[in-house]
Chain A
């Protein structure tokens, strides 16, 4: 793959008259800061990046091709393995697409369980991001705090659906399992705990001068660029676009809750850091309300035909994942298997701007910029 890139050499001389040589540096695919199997071929002159060429596909499993030979319910576990840090939103987007086509009614209790699961997962995902972002920048400690608290969420998921990461929890028409006895109380406890714990995260990291000097003004882009590059989620909101699909195109039951959409204007790594931290607070707010309103009983899966055959036609739905806008397109021919299934993966789309951001940057900022995009390689490669 791109072997020729590594064999080319070029010589230049900089303005200072010191003779320098362009060099190709291969980052990844097995590099801890690429958060998976992502490879960057970087052309550097001294410490300045001249060009960065992303190489991916190492984790490409052909999910979309496999799906064409699977029934809709069978596809759900495959979605777990795309964005494995936030599998609940992936579960949801597939179910939501099929339900939209079939016009299914989802029982109240299932809606609440879905929402609680998705928001918990958002918190867990942002915690992973927070921990690994700081790990990339050389801070080991925060990672341990983040994973300690994320572990609590995974334990909750384990009780709910028997899995810690690949949940396979949602079904077309509802969810697979009802919450076990006392689970809601445990989630309430966790939310209270997390609210109490969050200030210490800020105390530990946010004001740190070394940290700030590593991220302030780094990886900047403006609103026009963000829209041009189809960025979504925090990447888009960091440039001042107030856009959150939970608010602006409400799905599930998000329209029932009171929460804010934090936005920034600088479009740099610092803004993105603050936005994600603020999103944790907002997710906890949603969770609090949802847990309060949680219906005491009811079905967790609606009336669904035994064989799921969406009507012939096509659909495209999009929802807000922790990483941005995740979309699902289904072309159906009225069979129990999709004719074509396509996922719009936020990690893949957001990553497109990376070569542009890296051009002319110092090599030491490369990891900070990559980390601030927040990608999951399972989703980039699909």
Chain B
């Protein structure tokens, strides 16, 4: 920190930073547009590169005949589910207004988008193919939220549709390939010859069954729910309990979404309304049945159209975890501080402010913690451009 060079005033710095940011944004947009154009061409190739069909990747050589039969059945069911998911994705993309599968009558437009996402997340856990479904849905909803005009939506829908179709085609192709090659395309040839032969035969059978099922899948979509009933998570009762308690105390509108996050060891996850967050947070700790006395983690994420603060709580009393997300806008972002409830939030909130520029009203000592006090900008924002005195 020397004073040799004349230091630019904060205003100058901010101005320069803003300019740089705008530039970067423009460049990024251009890049994105180019990437989008490419994406459609790339999609099939990408999908086929990722092939290994789930059944072929299992250690089939060790399976008993009964297990084999079961696996076969499962593969068929999976294929049906996949086909269904693909179909759903298509229909969802075609009609951006979210599917009739959810009770959406009392939802606001923002909640609809959230619900759409949550639905997509669920689908994702159900079957691998639902990944495409979510991407398509997310693409649709993102475009809808950002642009809002019909043209963008239609474009996104078309893109999503094309993508889903391409993915389905790629999958069918992969299945055919797997059948032809015996399914060990990506594997190293370490396995013993005997086991490999067995695996090949099995994989071929499974792949064939899958391909067959995929053909029939379109018609059999209705069956999918019966043949693969969604097993409720072991944490579902807890989630229901939390939702019920909070609804009781604050009304239904404070919970923007609630779901089991399958990717994070099935942790019950709530999205809480920003304005009421501090009250709900206090309730989470004070309520006898919830009693989340431990804040494990707190940090922010920049999703470009919004910022989110992610909390992971634990209740030592009830031995239960809970994840909470609170959303805020990118401009004038603020989320109520919970430092007065959990002292451990202090430095985490400072870090989040430092790196992402989220304000925590009520904190009282919201200074930078990792970066120097005179740093310009918040580096973990996606549009961050480093301020350079030379420029």
Contacts and interface: CB of A to CB of B under 8 A. Distances in A.
A348 interface: yes
Interface in A293-332: 299, 303, 305-307, 309-318, 325, 327, 329, 331
Interface in B298-347: 299, 301-302, 310, 312, 316, 319, 323, 342-347
A316 B124 contact: no
Interface residues of B, number: 50
Centre residue among B52, B297, B310 by max chain A CB count within 10 A: B297
Contact of A227 (B135, B294, B312, B371): B294
B136 to A, nearest CB: 11
B380 interface: yes
B355 A64 contact: yes
Contacts of B193: none
A200 interface: no
Contact of A248 (B302, B319, B368): B319
Contacts of B342: 228, 230
A311 B124 contact: yes
A329 B310 contact: yes
Nearest to B301: A340
B388 interface: no
A230 B131 contact: no
Nearest to B57: A303
A82 to B, nearest CB: 13
A100 B138 contact: no
Nearest to A312: B134
A101 B316 CA distance: 25
A364 interface: no
A220 interface: no
A229 B371 contact: no
A303 B52 contact: yes
A329 B347 contact: no
B390 interface: no
Interface stretch (B75-83, B222-230, B238-246, B258-266): B258-266
Given A1-B372, A227-B316, A349-B344, A316 B379 contact: no
B345 to A, nearest CB: 8
B66 interface: no
A31 B197 CA distance: 64
A305 B373 contact: no
Contacts of A314: 261, 263-264, 301, 310
Contact of A229 (B57, B190, B344, B355): B344
A56 B370 contact: yes
Interface string A319-354: 000000101010100100001101010001101100
Contacts of A101: 263
Q: How large is the interface on A (under 10, 10 to 19, 20 to 34, 35 or more residues)?
A: 35 or more
B52 A311 contact: no
Contact of B370 (A228, A248, A382): A382
Contacts of A325: 296
B296 A57 contact: no
B49 to A, nearest CB: 7
B261 A313 contact: yes
A207 B348 CA distance: 39
Contacts of B264: 100, 314-317
Contacts of A315: 261, 263-265
Contacts of A309: 50
B186 A318 contact: no
A312 B138 contact: yes
Nearest to B352: A342
A314 B301 CA distance: 11
A344 B297 contact: yes
A231 B295 CA distance: 9
Given A56-B369, A340-B302, A241 B316 contact: yes
B177 interface: no
Contacts of B134: 311-312
B131 A342 contact: no
B371 A327 contact: no
B121 interface: yes
A312 B135 CA distance: 8
B267 interface: yes
18 contacts: A65-B379, A65-B380, A100-B264, A227-B316, A243-B316, A299-B190, A305-B52, A307-B49, A307-B50, A312-B131, A317-B264, A317-B265, A331-B301, A340-B301, A342-B299, A342-B301, A344-B297, A349-B348
Interface of A: 1-3, 56-57, 60, 62, 64-65, 100-101, 227-231, 241, 243, 248, 299, 303, 305-307, 309-318, 325, 327, 329, 331, 334, 339-340, 342, 344, 348-349, 351-352, 381-382
Given A56-B370, A313-B124, A344-B297, 6 more contacts: A57-B371, A100-B264, A227-B316, A305-B50, A313-B261, A315-B264
Interface of B: 1, 49-50, 52, 57, 121, 124, 131, 134-135, 138, 186-187, 190, 261-265, 267, 293-297, 299, 301-302, 310, 312, 316, 319, 323, 342-348, 351, 355, 368-373, 379-380
Shortest 3 CB-CB contacts between residues of A and residues of B = A230-B344, A315-B264, A57-B370
